[in-house]
């Protein structure tokens, strides 16, 4: 690679271009696009290409301008317009185009719109949102909605193992009257209240989060911002941390929801950093580094890295060393860390130690704390998805104050706030709830893993969260994404269970599936196993 010093070259360029690009051979000539057209002919090509580009650009702009339905009516007062001079288009250009296009646009208007009116179109970004409905994730969900399994009512229905729709909530049913009526008194629910959460609720949530992390760290209520659901929490953070066109690094397999939460409205891109089964899907800084460089090479600005802990979908817990390494990585690259800890309260492994990112940065300096943002979901850990309440916990004052304002766009309603305050204010209740929840998850998980093992199916060790990450590579007809989708189709249509294929989680190795067990009770496990067995048999025969 010949890399010329920019300082030296700028001088020679100005001389040369002034002379019209004569053939000076002794001194090296630098022309535009030199890097691309290195070598012989560089001078010529380097001049022609940009010229051609510019020509096409101008051509394109001209075309587009004509296409716009320029109103045929005489412009009411052209003088008034010159009062606000337009820097981009000179007067002469304006005149020229008008002259050329006026008669044509008139006739076109008469020919087309007006009467037929043409249907009003939606925005381009909305059509992207509409189109997104044909991934296995959505197809599966739809099938479950149409034909849901019910032990007594519809024993042949599709069992939902795709996403967490927990049905086992003990807390409200124990004492519904008290929990709800305590919270809903009229004075509280009807007036405008801070969208980002009442201070009572924030205190209660901070307490709950501490409890979920086994009191290893205490959370400061003033650093909390409440939003309506984890999806909007992630969206608000993406909006605050990255501009449109920037990107986040996401180690994969990752939660399938990020594609929607991050990309849809904020214009932020995701760069997937693949982790492999050989490493047990653990993230290594080496791959992150490589992802960062590749993105940088492509000219994409990386603003942060999104991790989840416990990991969704594998259920692994990040170790203290992992987290320190991540922090070092983020510090070195000067980027943010979004730590998605929505399953913090659902660590079900005996002795499994969950370490929150908040604990890691607790001892760090301010500069480092400011790059850490944590997402916490109350509806997940409370098994109350209908509540739709999540929290952003950040150490960055600017992010907090921007998020607070943005919560008017995804607010938590007062009845919900009061309901939650009464539910989680009592530490005794919280302790008991977290404990029962853990035990229940552990029982179902153990049953499930045992059942799968009997069928000869392995899965990665899951220590937290609602999922296990199942290896069904052996049952694919071909080792490819196509084989995976085929197997997924069989599971859905023959086995009547809805799972999430690895491709939805952007896993690069085919044949892995995410299985959500929080919807199941222990008695359901044999039913699921029977159905999987049925599919496995068709695969082998």
Partner 1 sequence: MRLIVPLQGVVQGRGGLFVGSLIPCCLFYFLQLYLKRRRSPPPPPPDSDSTELPRTSSRSSLFTRGNSIGRVRVSSRAAPLAKPPDSPYYIGLERVKTDPYDRVSNRDGIIQLGLAESTLCFDLLQRWMSDNLMESLMIQSDVDGGFDVSSIAMYQPFEGLLEVRVAFADFMSRIMGGNVSFDPSNMVITAGGTPAVEVLAFCLADHGNAFLIPSPYYPGFDRDIKFRTGIELIPVHCRSSDNFTVTVSALEQSLNQARKRGSKVSGILFSNPSNPVGNILSRETLHAILSFAQEKNIHVISDEIFAGSVYGDKEFVSLAEVAASGDFDKSRVHIIYGLSKDLSLPGFRTGVIYSFHEDVVSAAKKLMRFCSMPVPVQRILISLLSDTRFIEEYMAAHKQRIRDKHFLFVEGLKQLGIPCAESGGGLYCWVDMSSLLTSYSQKGELELFEKLLSVAKINATPGTACYCIEPGWFRCCFTALADEDIPVIMERIKLLAESSTS
Residues 142-171 that bind partner 1 (CB under 8 A): 165, 167, 169
- What track of x and - describes contact with partner 1 for positions 418 through 457 (by CB under 8 A)? -x--------------------------------------
Question: Applying CB under 8 A, does 10 fall inside the site for partner 1?
Answer: yes
Question: Applying CB under 8 A, does 395 fall inside the site for partner 1?
Answer: no
Please, what is the minimum distance in Å from the beta carbon of residue 330 to partner 1? 8
Q: How many angstroms separate the CA atoms of 372 and 360, rounded?
A: 10
How are strands ordered across the β-sheet holding 458-459?
Answer: 458-459, 467-471, 512-516, 500-501
Question: Applying CB under 8 A, does 118 fall inside the site for partner 1?
Answer: yes
* Per-residue 3-state assignment (H helix, E strand, C coil) for 174-222: HCHHHHHHHHCCHHHHCCCCCCCCCHHHHHHHHHHHHHHCCCCCCCCHH
Kindly identify the residues of this chain, within the stretch 186-205, that bind partner 1 according to CB under 8 A. Answer: 186, 188-193, 195
# chain residues binding partner 1, by CB under 8 A: 132
Question: Applying CB under 8 A, does 105 fall inside the site for partner 1?
Answer: no
Question: Applying CB under 8 A, does 386 fall inside the site for partner 1?
Answer: yes
Please, what is the minimum distance in Å from the beta carbon of residue 446 to partner 1? 25
Please, what is the minimum distance in Å from the beta carbon of residue 302 to partner 1? 12
DSSP 467: E
Q: Which is nearer to partner 1, 93 or 479 (CB)?
A: 93
Question: Applying CB under 8 A, does 178 fall inside the site for partner 1?
Answer: no
| All residues at 6 or more sequence positions from 381 whose CB lies less than 8 Å from its CB, including other chains | 208, 212, 342, 343, 344, 345, 346, 434, 437
Among 22, 41, 103, 176, which residue interacts with partner 1 (rule: CB under 8 A)? Answer: 176
Please, what is the minimum distance in Å from the beta carbon of residue 32 to partner 1? 4
| CA nearest to 187, candidates 414, 425, 422, 423 | 414
Please, what is the minimum distance in Å from the beta carbon of residue 454 to partner 1? 31
Q: How many angstroms separate the CA atoms of 217 and 355, rounded?
A: 9
Kindly identify the residues of this chain, within the stretch 325-384, that bind partner 1 according to CB under 8 A. Answer: 328, 330-332, 334-336, 367, 370-371, 383-384
3-class secondary-structure state, position 235:
helix
Q: Which two tokens stand for residue 192?
A: 């405008």
DSSP 317: P
Q: How many angstroms separate the CA atoms of 374 and 239, rounded?
A: 15
Among 151, 243, 458, 522, which residue interacts with partner 1 (rule: CB under 8 A)? Answer: 243
Q: How many angstroms separate the CA atoms of 426 and 182, rounded?
A: 13
Q: How many angstroms separate the CA atoms of 123 and 265, rounded?
A: 12
Tokens 């960055």 label which residue?
396
Question: Applying CB under 8 A, does 296 fall inside the site for partner 1?
Answer: yes
Question: Applying CB under 8 A, does 467 fall inside the site for partner 1?
Answer: no
Question: Applying CB under 8 A, does 50 fall inside the site for partner 1?
Answer: yes
Please, what is the minimum distance in Å from the beta carbon of residue 308 to partner 1? 18
Number of H helices, E strands in the chain: 22, 13
Please, what is the minimum distance in Å from the beta carbon of residue 524 to partner 1? 16
Stretch that binds partner 1, among 113-121, 214-222, 427-435, 451-459 (CB under 8 A): 113-121
Please, what is the minimum distance in Å from the beta carbon of residue 510 to partner 1? 25
Q: Which two tokens stand for residue 291?
A: 């992802």
Please, what is the minimum distance in Å from the beta carbon of residue 166 to partner 1? 8
Q: Which is nearer to partner 1, 17 or 101 (CB)?
A: 17
Among 104, 320, 405, 435, which residue interacts with partner 1 (rule: CB under 8 A)? Answer: 405
Q: Are 518 and 315 in contact (CB under 8 A)?
A: no
- What track of x and - describes contact with partner 1 for positions 202 through 241 (by CB under 8 A)? --------------------------xx-xx--x---xxx
Q: Which is nearer to partner 1, 6 or 23 (CB)?
A: 6
* Per-residue 3-state assignment (H helix, E strand, C coil) for 425-470: CCHHHHHHHHHHHHHHHHHHHHHHHHHHHHCCCEECCCCECCEEEE
3-class secondary-structure state, position 275:
coil
Kindly identify the residues of this chain, within the stretch 61-80, that bind partner 1 according to CB under 8 A. Answer: 68-71, 73, 75-76, 80
Question: Applying CB under 8 A, does 96 fall inside the site for partner 1?
Answer: yes
Kindly identify the residues of this chain, within the stretch 27-46, that bind partner 1 according to CB under 8 A. Answer: 30-35
Kindly identify the residues of this chain, within the stretch 121-140, that bind partner 1 according to CB under 8 A. Answer: 122-127, 129-130, 132-133
Q: Which is nearer to partner 1, 363 or 541 (CB)?
A: 363
Question: Applying CB under 8 A, does 385 fall inside the site for partner 1?
Answer: yes
Q: Which is nearer to partner 1, 73 or 456 (CB)?
A: 73
Q: How many angstroms separate the CA atoms of 161 and 466, rounded?
A: 10
Burial of 469 (0-12, 13-18, 19+ CB in 10 A): buried
Element housing 491 (H / E): helix 481-493
| All residues at 6 or more sequence positions from 32 whose CB lies less than 8 Å from its CB, including other chains | 46, 47, 49, 50
């Amino acid at each position: 690679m010949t890399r010329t010093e920019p300082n030296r070259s700028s001088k020679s360029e100005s001389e040369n271009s002034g002379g019209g690009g004569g053939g000076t051979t002794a001194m090296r000539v630098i022309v535009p696009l030199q890097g691309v057209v290195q070598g012989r002919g560089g001078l010529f090509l380097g001049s022609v290409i940009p010229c051609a580009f510019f020509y096409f650009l101008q051509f394109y702009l001209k075309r587009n301008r004509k296409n716009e339905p320029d109103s045929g009516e005489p412009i009411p007062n052209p003088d008034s317009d010159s009062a606000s001079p337009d820097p981009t288009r000179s007067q002469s250009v304006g005149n020229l185009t008008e002259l050329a296009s006026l008669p044509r646009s008139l006739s076109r208007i008469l020919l087309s719109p007006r009467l037929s009116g043409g249907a009003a179109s939606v925005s381009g970004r909305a059509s992207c949102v509409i189109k997104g409905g044909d991934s296995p994730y959505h197809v599966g969900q739809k099938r479950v909605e149409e034909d849901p399994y019910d032990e007594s009512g519809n024993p042949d229905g599709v069992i939902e193992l795709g996403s967490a729709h927990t049905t086992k909530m003990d807390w409200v049913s124990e004492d519904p009257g008290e929990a709800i009526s305590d919270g809903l008194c009229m004075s509280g629910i009807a007036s405008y209240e801070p969208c980002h959460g009442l201070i009572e609720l924030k205190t209660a949530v901070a307490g709950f989060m501490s409890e979920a992390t086994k009191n290893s760290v205490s959370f400061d209520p003033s650093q909390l911002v409440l939003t309506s659901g984890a999806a909007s929490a992630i969206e608000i953070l993406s909006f605050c941390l990255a501009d449109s066109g920037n990107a986040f690094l996401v180690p994969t397999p990752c939660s399938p929801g990020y594609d929607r939460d991050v990309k849809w409205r904020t214009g932020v891109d995701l760069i997937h950093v693949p982790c492999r089964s050989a490493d047990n899907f653990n993230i290594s800084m080496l791959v992150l580094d490589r992802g960062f460089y590749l993105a940088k090479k492509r000219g994409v600005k990386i603003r942060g890295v999104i991790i989840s802990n416990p990991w969704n979908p594998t259920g692994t817990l990040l170790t203290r060393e992992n987290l320190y390494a991540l922090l070092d990585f983020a510090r070195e690259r000067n980027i943010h860390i979004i730590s998605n800890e929505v399953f913090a309260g659902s660590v079900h492994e005996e002795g499994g130690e969950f370490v929150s990112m908040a604990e890691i940065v607790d001892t760090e300096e301010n500069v480092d704390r400011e790059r850490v943002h944590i997402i916490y979901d109350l509806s997940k850990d409370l098994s109350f998805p209908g509540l739709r309440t999540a929290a952003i916990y950040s150490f960055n004052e600017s992010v907090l104050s921007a998020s607070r304002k943005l919560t008017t766009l995804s607010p938590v309603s007062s009845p919900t706030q009061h309901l939650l305050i009464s539910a989680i204010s009592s530490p005794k209740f919280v302790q008991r709830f977290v404990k029962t929840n853990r035990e229940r998850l552990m029982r179902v998980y153990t049953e499930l893993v045992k059942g799968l093992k009997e069928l000869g199916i392995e899965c990665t060790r899951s220590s937290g969260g609602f999922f296990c990450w199942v290896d069904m590579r052996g049952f694919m007809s071909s080792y490819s994404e196509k084989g995976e989708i085929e197997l997924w189709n069989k599971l859905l249509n023959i086995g009547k269970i809805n799972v999430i294929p690895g491709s939805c989680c952007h896993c690069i190795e085919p044949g892995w599936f995410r299985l959500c067990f929080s919807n199941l009770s222990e008695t359901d496990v044999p039913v699921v196993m029977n159905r999987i067995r049925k599919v496995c048999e068709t695969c082998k025969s």
